[in-house]
């Protein structure tokens, strides 16, 4: 909030101090009721609401606001650190899936793992087009993702590797479009500010053009607009 020149009201400063000094909750421990009212008061503070609305300036997590239900586990996000391998069977084939960290600090750990893979699943968060990087507040997350995509498409290691591109979090993208103009972050965007279809098509074509520049005709590329938390799409 300091970087945004925002401060909570004097009446709520006491609650900020209480929350900051709180101890971590252990597994199985219920949420302490004495923190319920302080958290509510801080959350309802006008400056806190303004800070939340400007979350793209600080790489805040995507804004899932809802009454907790069983689907919460689906929406829970854990940052990928290092390399995680998962083996599963698909029909009569044994598949090995390697999940890697997308952050800049993680890339040097996983790039070598892609040699000799049969397919790459590349996930892009559509809703991050207006957000900065966690590691660099002056860099744009979508622009950074496009740079990675471009390097993978041009890599000699993947000349014959099929790539499936998922433009994910379409649900959050649709909610964000009416309030955050793509043109503010991508000046070459010439569509309507609140047109969801035009926005999706812009990013789809942008990634597709990077593939065409690589000129790897023997490689197959598939692009899909998705919402990973929508189980109906499975």
Question: For the segment 176-186, what is each residue's pLDDT rounded down to a tens digit?
Answer: 998 899 999 99
How crowded is the C-beta side of 142, counted as CA atoms within 13 Å? 22
* Helices 13-20/36-44 angle, 10° precision: 130
Q: Give 75's pLDDT tier (boundaries 50, 70, 90).
A: low
Average pLDDT of the segment spanning 154-168: 86
> In the chain, which residue ranges form alpha helices assigned H by DSSP?
13-20, 36-44, 46-53, 72-75, 104-110, 141-154, 170-176, 196-214
Q: pLDDT tens digits, residue range 77-113?
A: 666 666 788 898 988 888 888 887 665 665 666 666 6
How crowded is the C-beta side of 77, counted as CA atoms within 13 Å? 11
Q: Give 59's pLDDT tier (boundaries 50, 70, 90).
A: low
Q: Which position has the higher pLDDT, 105 or 23?
A: 23
Q: Name, in order, each residue with C-beta under 8 angstroms of 135's C-beta and a sequence gap of 6 or more.
A: 103, 104, 105
Q: Are strands 83-90 and 93-100 parallel, antiparallel or unpaired?
A: antiparallel
Average pLDDT of the segment spanning 8-36: 82
pLDDT at 207 over 80: yes
Average pLDDT of the segment spanning 47-73: 70
Average pLDDT, the chain: 81
Strand, coil or helix: 49? helix
Least-confidence region, from 14-23, 104-113, 218-227: 104-113
């Amino acid at each position: 909030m300091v970087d945004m020149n925002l401060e909570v009201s004097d009446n709520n400063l006491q609650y900020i101090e209480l929350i900051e000094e709180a101890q971590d909750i252990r597994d199985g421990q219920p949420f302490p009721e004495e923190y319920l009212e302080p958290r509510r008061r801080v959350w309802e503070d006008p400056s806190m609401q303004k800070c939340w609305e400007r979350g793209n300036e600080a790489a805040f997590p995507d804004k899932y606001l809802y009454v907790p239900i069983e689907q919460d586990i689906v929406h829970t996000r854990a940052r990928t650190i290092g390399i995680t391998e998962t083996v599963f069977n698909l029909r009569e084939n044994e598949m090995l899936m390697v999940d890697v960290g997308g952050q800049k600090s993680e890339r040097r750990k996983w790039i070598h793992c892609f040699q000799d893979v049969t397919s790459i699943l590349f996930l892009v968060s559509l809703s991050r087009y207006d957000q900065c990087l966690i590691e660099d507040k002056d860099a744009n997350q979508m622009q950074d993702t496009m740079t990675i995509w471009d390097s993978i498409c041009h890599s000699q290691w993947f000349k014959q590797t099929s790539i499936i591109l998922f433009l994910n979090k379409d649900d959050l993208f649709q909610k964000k479009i009416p309030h955050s103009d793509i043109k503010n972050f991508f000046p070459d965007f010439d569509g309507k500010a609140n047109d969801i279809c035009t926005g999706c098509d812009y990013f789809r074509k942008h990634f597709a053009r990077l593939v065409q520049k690589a000129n790897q005709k023997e490689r197959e590329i598939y692009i899909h607009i998705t919402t990973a938390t929508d189980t109906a799409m499975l």
